[in-house]
Structure 1
Amino acid sequence: MSTQVIAPPRYLATARDASLVADIALVLGGTALITASAFVIVPLPFTPVPIALSTFTVMATGAALGPLRGTLSAALYVLIGMLGAPVFANGHSGVAFPTFGYLIGYVIAAWVVGQLARHQADRRVGTTLALGALGTLILYACGVPWLAVSLGIDLGMAIQLGVVPFLIGDTLKVLALAGLLPSLWRLVARIRPDDRAGAR
Structure 2
Amino acid sequence: FSKAWTNNKSSAFVEYSWDLDGKNFTKCDPCNTTPPAAQELSNAGVDWLKTTRNNWGANYSGKLHFTRLHIRYNRKTYPQDLAFIETKNKENFQCRYVLRNPAKINDESCDKVLPYYQKVLDRRNIELDNLEDITWWNKEWYSAYPKKYENKITRLKAQQNEKEYEDENENNFLPAFPSGNIPPMILWFFVGVSLIGISLITFHKKWQALKF
The TM-score, its normalising length taken from structure 2, stands at: 0.22
| Structure having the larger proportion of residues in strand | 2
Which of the pair has the greater relative contact order for Cα pairs under 8 Å at 6+ separation?
1
Larger Rg, first or second structure (1 or 2): 2
Per the normalisation by structure 1, the TM-score is: 0.23
Bigger helix fraction: 1
